[in-house]
Structures are given as C-alpha cells and as structure tokens.
Amino acid sequence: MNILTFDIEEWYLERHVNGNRSKKFKEYDYYLGRILDLLDERGLKATFFCLGGMAKDFPEVVLKIAGNGHHIGCHSNRHVWLNKMTPEEVMEDTRIALDQLEQRLGQKVVSYRAPAFSIGQKNKWAFDILAECGITSDASIFPAKRDFGGFPNFGCHRPCIIDTGNCLIKEFPIQTIHLLGREIAYSGGGYFRFFPLWFTQRELNRSDYAMLYFHIGDLIPEESRMRTKEEYEEYFREPGTLFNRTKRYVKANLGKKHAYAKLGSLIRNHEFVSLSEAEETISEWNTIHI
Ligand SMILES: [Zn+2]
C-alpha cells in the first residue's frame, strides 16, 4: 500500500515568517488546486496534515481540502519542531492546533505528523502527550539518521503500534531503503526531488508499503530565497551561520524544477490511499515498545 500525504503550512509560514507576499499565496492556491484536481480525476484520497494556524488564518484552504473528501490530520499549530519544545509547550501547541482544526472542520482530528519528523529518541515522551490530546495515529517517525529529528533506532519501517508504557498509538513510519551503506528515504521531500522518477517508481513497485510525503512548496519550480540570519534563528532555533543557512537553502531548492511533473506522473501511474484508508485495511499490527 502506498500512502499519500501532504503537509500544509506554506500559507501560514508565508504570512508569519517569510514576507507575506501575495504572489506566493496565489502560487500555493494554484498548486494545491492542481493536486486536488488530479486526485479527483484518479478517484484517490490522500491525507493532508494541516497546521492549526492554517485553520485559523486560512480556513478556506483547509475546508477546500476537506470538502474534496480528503483526510485531515494535524501538523502542529505553528510548525515549531517538537524537539525544540518542552513537554508543556508541546501540550499547549497540540491542544490549540486540534482545537483550531476541529472548530473549522466540525469533526475530530485524530492523526498527527510532527513538523520535520521531529520526534526521536530524546523526545519520545511526545507520544504520551499526543495520546492525551486524543491522537490515535501518527506519521512522525523517520526511522533513519537525519539532519534534524529522525529516530534511527526505532526498529520498524512499516505500520505498527507504538507502546510507550502509558499509551498506544498507531504509527505509519517513513519507509527507508539501504543505499550505499546508508539507510535513506526516497518517497518525499528533498529525497523525492533528488532521485530520478524511474528510481522512485522502481522502489514503489518493489515494496508493499510506502509513505509518500510532500509540501506544496516542494512543487513550485521557483527557488526560495536564502533566509537572513535573524529569520533563520527565529525559525530553526539554532545558530544562523552562513554554513547552516546555505545548507538549508541548497536542500530546500534541490530538484524543484521537475518535482511537480514527477509527482503528477506518480499520481497518474500508481495507486494511493489516505492514512485513514490504510488504517482500515490493516488487520495485523506489530507492537513496538519504545
Ligand atoms: Zn511541515
């Protein structure tokens, strides 16, 4: 099964962090519209993890996605990474985010993805907080090394149940592959933009489980600008050295030119389900104790 997911935050970040340019809002609307039309044509449903701040500031975007019958999950409130917050802050952020989304949608939201897959060994306490807030399924685990976040010793690359000792949560991790002696992802973000389409398709055909993840910003050909030191430190909460800023800039823009066309081909040529559809079809779950 191939699970198709999008993380929806660009409008909110553009308004509050990246300059509030009206041109960018139009671009995001346009690319989201194309994705929704394409999914409609194919009769496919996906999961869209939306910021609580999106529901507050751009309810029309969240309602449009939900109105097309897609599954809505939560992607935190302001896109602050969970490994940069205290447990109290994570609790507050999650409660506000769910409240904003549920108020606009008029329904419970029970699925979650942390910004930048920011739940790892050091902050696995976050699962207890998510469960306390009513989350029952999660897609925040990146079971390999990663610049930020990542949970390399998670021990499972397929859907499973996380048992923290205090709570149970259904987990849908990113699927990784062995390549050149390393464990890496291929099915979303910068990895998807970097690898040629034939490679991604070959891996999808080889596996019976894949988790695809995209941001709308990944699909816009125009390069984003490099953040200033102040902007970088405010957003990433780490030193905004030229090295750090350049590294993020290169990663954010790698392979953007052909990303939308590649995703379009994937959607036309492969079957996908939303996370909630996937959850219904799985009858046997392995349990992972963390
Ligand atoms: Zn995100």
Give the span between the Cα atoms of 78 and 16, in whole angstroms: 9
- Residue with the bigger pLDDT between 226 and 242: it is 242
pLDDT at 78 over 90: yes
Does one domain contain both 237 and 275? no
pLDDT at 148 over 70: no
Q: Tokens 């925040």, residue?
A: 140
Please, how many CA atoms are within 13 Å of residue 36, restricted to the half-sphere of its CB? 19
- CA 195 to ligand 1 center in whole angstroms: 20
Residue 286: strand, helix, or coil: strand
Give the span between the Cα atoms of 210 and 272, in whole angstroms: 9
Share above pLDDT 70 across residues of the chain, in percent, rounded to a whole number? 94
Lowest-pLDDT choice from 48-57, 63-72, 174-183, 218-227? 218-227
| The pLDDT value given to residue 255 | 66
Count of structural domains within the chain: 2
| The pLDDT value given to residue 221 | 77
- Across 50-65, average pLDDT: 98
Residue 18: strand, helix, or coil: coil
Residues linked to residue 161 through DSSP beta bridges, in sequence order:
170, 287
Q: How confident is the model at residue 126 (pLDDT cuts 50, 70, 90)?
A: very high
Lowest-pLDDT choice from 105-114, 190-199, 207-216, 237-246? 237-246
- Across 92-100, average pLDDT: 98
| The pLDDT value given to residue 190 | 80
The tokens describing 119, both together, are 């739940």
- CA 138 to ligand 1 center in whole angstroms: 14
Does one domain contain both 170 and 251? no
- CA 271 to ligand 1 center in whole angstroms: 24
| The pLDDT value given to residue 256 | 72
Q: H/E element holding 169?
A: strand 168-171
pLDDT at 252 over 80: no
Does one domain contain both 162 and 200? yes
The tokens describing 146, both together, are 């990663």
- CA 213 to ligand 1 center in whole angstroms: 10
Torsion, Cα of 139, 144, 148, 151 (10° steps)? 60
DSSP state of 38: H
Does one domain contain both 250 and 109? no
- Predicted model pTM: 0.90
- CA 8 to ligand 1 center in whole angstroms: 7
- Across 67-75, average pLDDT: 98
Does one domain contain both 105 and 184? yes
| The pLDDT value given to residue 139 | 98
- Across 214-223, average pLDDT: 84
Does one domain contain both 243 and 169? no
- CA 242 to ligand 1 center in whole angstroms: 23
pLDDT at 254 over 80: no
| The pLDDT value given to residue 234 | 79
Q: What is the rounded average pLDDT for all residues in the chain?
A: 91
Q: Are 126 and 91 in contact (CB under 8 A)?
A: no
Does one domain contain both 174 and 240? no
Does one domain contain both 94 and 237? no
Residue 42's φ and ψ, nearest 5 degrees, are -85, -10
Does one domain contain both 88 and 106? yes
- Across 159-165, average pLDDT: 96
**Which CATH number is 38's domain given?**
3.20.20.370
Does one domain contain both 140 and 161? yes
Q: How confident is the model at residue 85 (pLDDT cuts 50, 70, 90)?
A: very high
Burial group, residue 277, by CB count within 10 angstroms (0-12, 13-18, 19+): middle
Query: 21, 2, 10, 108: which is closest to 51 by C-alpha?
Result: 10
Does one domain contain both 217 and 99? yes
- CA 215 to ligand 1 center in whole angstroms: 7
Does one domain contain both 245 and 260? no
- Across 58-63, average pLDDT: 98
> Which range of residues forms the domain containing residue 270?
2-221+256-289
- CA 207 to ligand 1 center in whole angstroms: 25
Q: Which amino acid is at 149?
A: G
